[in-house]
A and B are shown apart, each in its own frame.
Chain A
Amino acid sequence: MDYLSKDIRAFIEENFLFGGSAEDISDDGSLIAEGILDSAGVLELVAFLEGTYGIQVADSELLPTNLDSINRIAHYVVRKQACLQAARVA
């Protein structure tokens, strides 16, 4: 989980904060309320998650409960990877 959170934080810093530090944002802080993500930004985030972690984000999963903080994103990716793993085993 830690490495995931670190990667996601780095992606956010590079693409939405343009090198600025996200250290003021806790792992549970809302990325929308903090003015970091907008509607196009969420789609950029999804493209990053799909490209980096080999998962598919369904439209029905485009929810703040899955994607609106670094921790939520990390947990979501872990859950999706676990599902993928389970599907492969089956």
Chain B
Amino acid sequence: MCGIAGVVDFQRGAPQARLLERMAARMAHRGPDDCGVWHGGDVALSHTRLAIVDPQHGAQPMHTGDGRLSVSFNGEIFNHRELRALLEKQGRPFRTHHCDTEVVLQAYAHWGEGCFERFNGQWAIALWDADRRRLLLSRDRFGICPLHYTQAGSAWVFASEAKALFCHPAVAPAVDVDAVCDILRFWTPLPGHTAFRNVSELEPGCCLAIEPQGVRHWRYWQLDYRPDYGRRDLDWSEELRALLSDAVRLRLQADVPLGLYLSGGLDSSVVGALADQLLSARGDAQRLSLFSVQFDEQDVDERHFQHGMAQRLGRQPHALACANAAIGQHLIQAVRHTERPLFRTAAVPLFLLSRRVRAHDHKVVLTGEGADEVFGGYDLFKEAKLRRFVARQPGSKRRPLLLRRLYPYLPHLQTQSPEYLHAYFQVDSDHLDDPFFSHRPRWRNNARLERFLSPEVRHSQRQRDPLAELAAWLPQRFSDWDYFERAQYLETTMLLPGYILSSQGDRVAMAHGVETRPVFLDHRLAALAARMPAEVKMRVLDEKHVLKQAAGDLVTPQVLRRPKQPYRAPESVCFRGPDGDLAEPLAELLRPASIRRHGLFDPDAVSRLLSKARTAPLRSFTDNAALVFILSTQALLQEFVPGSSSQ
């Protein structure tokens, strides 16, 4: 992947190259291999390159031979060879041998704005059409690659990362208090928003055309669930296996060595096994290296499963032993890249892992991200199913006990009575028709963090109704879907792009110039899964049932049988210094003067949380999330808007 940036200004013309060079330099970590700037009158484009495909010929910004089209492109078009063959048959002229950037140019030249529907890949694209005086921005279907933009007077400024926008003299960083409060509740801003005021993010699956006569925004791809009840299980699993293998095949294309993030879970293990099969068939098995994270704390460490799977693949993983202290020490650096608050520390080990990957001269890693959203793997889906089951017989003493099985890794839930379980999980038959049924308990729990906000911020939020805003954003088809599909849609369009693929994905990987390729987000797989009835994806309480049927033979029995465990890292314990207090420089971020300077939080409430953490390690999920959220938000403010108040 790479970093892209640019400015279009139809009134005053694009700014001089120096600004574009500064914007590119601000994202040098995304593209350490090359840097290019191009000025075309109304528009200026820049590109920092991470050379992966056709390193000799892929310099950007790239232009068509006639100079009418120019592009700055971050990402990969995995079906570029097929598209090139199609385009060559149509007589489109190519100058490079196998560069996917040139395919983007020629695909647009031939198919116009409809070209993006034909791409299988991950991208953020800025394409200048000189004849039409049109700057076209496009982002991949799931939001794997980031793309931010803002308006500054008559200029439109865009960049892979928000920090590059702030190089423009008319774009000053300021925190968007509403967005930060939405992040607190949803773990992500509402679609299209960022933590910064007046800075937007192009939504996944969308395009933006900026022209002298105005701006157009449209969605070129929409996830839709239309279950087909007429197929046998075997038909689904066979089709899935074939498609999954093809998705891996496409993502093995690279002119550099390949890595795999092997977590020890089902998804990355399946990807690793398929990649190994395909590479071995070509006699190229040694091209794939494994990278894993290991922790001191046994309840989150997965090395046992990683070792078993690595042994099966016949290779030794590069294991990063991530000490608790290292997580605390690198939190601020990680936030500099995520550009939004965090709730869990899990992003930090991934930040450190990408550094390790880079140290081993790798810059591409396959990952298993996306499988939980596409095939219904998260506990939240089970939780929604169980809550419905319990709500149908509210008087039952036995049904609520099933809720304990949801989170076997949370010991404090195992001793709770049916009555308490009923109450925690908001089991109420009145809620069954609620469009947000699946997510209500999570969002309600998250909202408990509002007690740490300053009184002024809390007051400002009373005028808002973010749930109504979210409801207005949902597609019309949402009301036709069942509870499982609605839950999948919310996870796939909110948490996936807003947290998993960004804060735990692209941003912490590209911090060290490492491209992640989440295989399960091949849109053909997502479309296939969207045709599967919920029972095919989750059989009773067996999550990702169809994936296990399709690819269970590829992984060790231990990986196949293990209960679902989300990727987690040690939490607040990572921030403690030797005396039990918060270690520096984190402590400085939470001193009352720092808290007051930014005005978002209540210094008294924060001090009490710290006192509680000092007495004993925080046990509650909410307390841990509160500490990570407050620390990371303060780090974000300190980095981007030091000295200013959010009020």
Contacts and interface: CB of A to CB of B under 8 A. Distances in A.
A42 B444 contact: no
B444 A40 contact: no
B87 interface: no
Interface stretch (A2-10, A59-67, A74-82): A59-67
Interface in B392-441: 410, 412-413, 415-417, 419-420, 423-424
Given A14-B608, A18-B608, A39 B410 contact: yes
A19 B606 CA distance: 9
A15 interface: yes
A39 B604 contact: no
Interface string B618-638: 011111000000000000000
Interface string A7-38: 00000001101111000000000101101101
A18 B595 CA distance: 15
Nearest to A65: B419
A18 B424 CA distance: 21
B609 interface: yes
Interface in A51-90: 59-60, 62-65, 68
A44 B620 contact: yes
A38 B445 contact: yes
A68 B423 contact: yes
Given A20-B605, A62-B415, A39 B420 contact: yes
A42 B416 contact: yes
Nearest to A33: B423
Interface string B448-479: 10011000000000000000000000000000
A18 B452 contact: yes
B424 A39 contact: yes
Contacts of A15: 612
A40 B419 contact: no
Interface residues of B, number: 29
Contacts of A17: 451
Most chain A CB within a 10 A radius of its CB, from B420, B424, B608, B623: B420
B464 to A, nearest CB: 18
Nearest to A30: B423
B621 A19 contact: no
B59 to A, nearest CB: 54
Contact of A38 (B415, B607, B621): B621
Contacts of B412: 39-40, 42-43
Contacts of B606: 18
B620 A18 contact: no
B457 to A, nearest CB: 14
B447 interface: yes
Contacts of A33: 423
Interface residues of A, number: 25
B619 A40 contact: yes
B162 to A, nearest CB: 31
Given A14-B608, A15-B612, A64 B445 contact: no
B620 A38 contact: yes
Contacts of B445: 35, 38
A32 B424 contact: yes
A32 B623 CA distance: 16
A33 B361 CA distance: 53
Contacts of A30: 423
Most chain B CB within a 10 A radius of its CB, from A33, A44, A65: A44
A59 B415 contact: yes
A62 B416 contact: yes
Contacts of A36: 448
Contacts of A60: 417
Nearest to A62: B417
B621 A20 contact: no
B448 A35 contact: yes
Given A39-B420, A42-B420, A43-B619, A18 B410 contact: no
A39 B419 contact: no
A84 B471 CA distance: 54
Given A18-B605, A40-B412, A32 B423 contact: yes
A71 B61 CA distance: 69
A60 B418 CA distance: 10
Contact of A39 (B413, B448, B609): B413
Nearest to A46: B415
A41 B445 CA distance: 12
A35 B444 contact: yes
Given A35-B448, A38-B445, A63 B417 contact: yes
Contact of A64 (B419, B452, B607, B621): B419
Contacts of B451: 17-18, 20
A63 B419 contact: yes
A43 B420 CA distance: 12
B412 to A, nearest CB: 5
Given A18-B452, A32-B423, A39 B416 contact: yes
Given A20-B451, A32-B423, A38-B445, 9 more contacts: A18-B606, A18-B612, A35-B444, A38-B448, A41-B620, A59-B415, A59-B417, A60-B417, A62-B417
In the complex, the 7 A-B pairs of residues with the closest C-beta atoms, listed nearest first: A40-B620, A18-B605, A18-B608, A32-B423, A40-B619, A40-B412, A19-B604
9 contacts: A18-B608, A19-B604, A20-B451, A33-B423, A39-B416, A39-B424, A41-B620, A59-B417, A63-B420
